[in-house]
Amino acid sequence: MALKKITTIPLCKSRLIGTQGTGGTFLSDPIDLRDISAVGNFTMSYGIASTNGTVGAGSSGSSVWEYLGCSVYDGTYVAAGTFATIGAGATESGFVSFTPVTIPFMKIKGVVGTSNPMVATAELNVR
């Protein structure tokens, strides 16, 4: 059996997403999937640090994560699916797997609610 490589794409590192009372959105750079998705397994690894505007203080807000797709790199990306709801409390980390539709280009979007911001680190792992 031939081994299939796993490609890891950094999405954000210690990124403050949102502000107290207004929420916020994170949007990754476009990800070219044409040469890295041989099997179609996708996992987002993440770490959430609690914050009240200061990393490690307070609690993190809740966030919904989705992927957007496009047929060209610099085109208009449209929502293609939601794959996770994470956060809402103390520091946490983990993995979330999802199976996107067949698309050549993707962006990852995280939307944080209005209760508290969050500090996120995330990577997309593709096989």
Read off the pLDDT band of 96 (50, 70, 90): very high
pLDDT of 16 above 80: yes
The DSSP secondary structure of the chain, one letter per residue, reads ------EEEEEEEEEEE-BTTTBEEEEPPPEE-TTT-SS--EEEEEEEE-BSSSBTSS-EEEEEEEEEEESSTTS--EEEEEEEEEEEES-EEEEEEE---S-SEEEEEEEE-SS--EEEEEEEEE-
* Structural domain spans, the chain: 7-126
Q: What is the pLDDT of residues 19-78, one digit of tens each?
A: 777 888 999 999 999 988 677 889 999 988 766 555 555 566 788 999 999 999 999 999
Instruction: Look up the pTM and report it.
Output: 0.86
Count of beta carbons in the 10 Å neighbourhood of residue 109:
17
Under CATH, what is the fold of the domain 7-126?
A: Jelly Rolls (2.60.120)
